[in-house]
């Protein structure tokens, strides 16, 4: 099932392979900055444009933008056979493979909205608890676009074990990183549902989507489970890093910790820490369903529903305000829907790893 066929390994230009890893590096830096920023506001507080966590956000975005630009320029100037990755010609000149076009647009949007965010804070001040502002909404969506670009870039690869682990890690980063945009979107769109905690629905949808994506891309039980393992590493690493970095940074610039600062790692409740268990169950479900020849779409919808239940139970248990029954029902519906959607997206993304017949290559995917 998910054993690779290596005899006729697809050729992906080296620039795209390196570009994918650089995209991931950039996003990992960005996510680290974002998690550290949240911890900093909670434990210490003062904000300006140039705090160390903010610098990580900008550096991460810069790495993503420059990586995408480099891959597009190298693709434009490249000689030899065209890449098998679906590409578009931009401004009649630039040859842009889709993942890097999307990533570049996301990084550009990120920078533009960061500029508007600076204006917003000049007018309204640095309110760290105002809820969603227009500029933060735009920033969150742009970062989500960068996340999708990272997943697309690894969806193209999947040829070697390290590339598939790269996909698992990309999915883990995407799962934690999607909390921002999915949380904001659900709070804006679904707050009218009576008794329902909208954030639960957004985060449940994000987890269902990413888990279903990796199951659909790899078609094997190992990789959803591997994504769960990678998630433990990402969340655990950030949970160790953010509070320690916050204490160190506060000491370095002579800021006292807040009264009532918990110092506990916020990232552990930023996305349900129980998600990896569901990823393991998803792996088991895929193995079982494949052996029995069950249809994948209902299985993915079921896994999505389970992610929704997990999210609702986790946040209910830590005291988020909600009507548990109403939130559970809504989370099951949204989770099942995004589980279904994730598989459909994976079907289309798998085409990214397949050469078109006109390119004269045989499609060999595991």
- CB of residue 63 to other proteins, shortest distance in Å: 23
Furthest-apart CA pair in the chain: how many Å? 66
Phi and psi (nearest 5°) for 88?
A: -130, 150
Query: Which spans in 157-197 are helix H?
Result: 161-177, 179-189
Structure tokens given for 315: 């946040």
- CB of residue 341 to other proteins, shortest distance in Å: 10
Q: At what angle do helices 324-350 and 198-218 cross, to 10 degrees?
A: 30
- CB of residue 245 to other proteins, shortest distance in Å: 17
- Residues in contact with other proteins by CB under 8 A are 1, 41-47, 109, 113, 116, 120, 123-131, 134-135, 137-138, 141, 219, 255-256, 258-262, 286, 289-290, 295-297, 344, 347-348, 350-351
Q: Which is nearer to other proteins, 29 or 197 (CB)?
A: 197
Query: What Rg value do the Cα atoms of the chain yield, rounded?
Result: 21
- CB of residue 121 to other proteins, shortest distance in Å: 9
Contact predicate 308/332, CB 8 Å: yes
- Which helix (H) or strand (E) element contains residue 355? none
- Which helix (H) or strand (E) element contains residue 39? helix 14-43
Q: Which is nearer to other proteins, 94 or 137 (CB)?
A: 137
What is the number of other CB atoms lying within 10 angstroms of the CB of residue 218?
A: 27
Q: Which is nearer to other proteins, 138 or 237 (CB)?
A: 138
- CB of residue 170 to other proteins, shortest distance in Å: 20
Question: Tokens 């070697």, residue?
Answer: 160
Contact predicate 363/355, CB 8 Å: yes
Measured distance CA(210)–CA(173) in Å, rounded? 10
- CB of residue 358 to other proteins, shortest distance in Å: 16
Parallel, antiparallel or unpaired: strands 87-90 and 94-97: antiparallel
- Is residue 48 classed exposed, middle or buried when 0-12, 13-18 and 19+ CB atoms within 10 A define those classes? exposed
Q: Which is nearer to other proteins, 46 or 195 (CB)?
A: 46
- CB of residue 206 to other proteins, shortest distance in Å: 17
Q: How many CA atoms lie within 13 A of 229 on its CB side?
A: 11
Q: Which residues of 330-364 are buried (b: 16+ CB within 10 A; e: fewer)?
A: bbbebbbbbbbbbbebbeebbebbbbeeeeeeeeb
Contact predicate 152/102, CB 8 Å: yes
- CB of residue 347 to other proteins, shortest distance in Å: 4
- CB of residue 348 to other proteins, shortest distance in Å: 5
- CB of residue 1 to other proteins, shortest distance in Å: 7
Q: Which is nearer to other proteins, 76 or 133 (CB)?
A: 133
Query: Which spans in 219-253 are helix H?
Result: 222-252
Q: Which is nearer to other proteins, 122 or 317 (CB)?
A: 122
Angle at alpha carbon of residue 128, lines to 120 and 64, rounded to 5° = 70
Structure tokens given for 15: 């620039």
Q: Which is nearer to other proteins, 13 or 198 (CB)?
A: 198
Q: Which is nearer to other proteins, 69 or 181 (CB)?
A: 181
Q: Which is nearer to other proteins, 275 or 343 (CB)?
A: 343
Q: Which is nearer to other proteins, 280 or 366 (CB)?
A: 366
């Amino acid at each position: 099932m998910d054993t690779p066929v290596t005899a006729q390994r697809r050729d992906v230009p080296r620039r795209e392979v390196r570009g994918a890893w650089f995209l991931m590096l950039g996003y990992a830096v960005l996510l680290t900055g974002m998690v550290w920023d949240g911890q900093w506001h909670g434990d210490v507080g003062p904000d300006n444009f140039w705090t160390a966590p903010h610098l990580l956000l900008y550096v991460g975005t810069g790495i993503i933008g420059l990586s995408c630009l480099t891959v597009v320029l190298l693709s434009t100037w490249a000689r030899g056979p065209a890449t098998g990755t679906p590409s578009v010609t931009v401004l009649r000149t630039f040859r842009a493979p889709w993942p890097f076009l999307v990533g570049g647009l996301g990084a550009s949007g990120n920078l533009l909205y960061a500029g508007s965010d600076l204006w917003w804070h000049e007018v309204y001040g640095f309110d760290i608890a105002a809820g969603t502002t227009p500029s933060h909404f735009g920033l969150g969506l742009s970062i989500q676009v960068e996340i999708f670009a990272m997943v697309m870039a690894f969806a193209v690869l999947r040829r070697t074990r390290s590339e598939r682990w790269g996909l698992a890690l990309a999915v883990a980063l995407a799962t934690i990183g999607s909390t921002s945009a999915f949380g904001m979107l659900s709070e804006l769109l679904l707050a009218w549902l009576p008794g329902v905690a909208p954030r639960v629905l957004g985060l449940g949808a994000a987890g269902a989507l990413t888990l279903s994506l990796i199951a659909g891309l790899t078609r094997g039980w190992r990789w959803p489970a591997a994504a769960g393992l990678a998630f433990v590493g990402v969340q655990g690493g950030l949970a160790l890093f953010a509070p320690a970095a916050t204490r160190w940074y506060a000491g370095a610039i002579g800021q006292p910790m807040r009264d009532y600062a918990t110092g506990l790692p916020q990232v552990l409740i930023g996305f349900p820490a129980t998600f990896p268990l569901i990823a393991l169950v998803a792996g088991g479900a895929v193995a079982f369903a494949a052996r029995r020849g069950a249809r994948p779409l209902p299985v993915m919808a079921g896994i999505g529903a389970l992610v929704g239940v997990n999210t609702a139970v986790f946040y209910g248990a830590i005291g988020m305000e909600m009507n548990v029954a109403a939130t559970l029902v809504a989370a099951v519906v949204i989770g099942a829907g995004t589980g279904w959607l994730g598989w459909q997206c994976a079907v289309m993304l798998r085409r990214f790893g397949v050469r078109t017949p006109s390119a004269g290559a045989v499609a060999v995917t595991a």
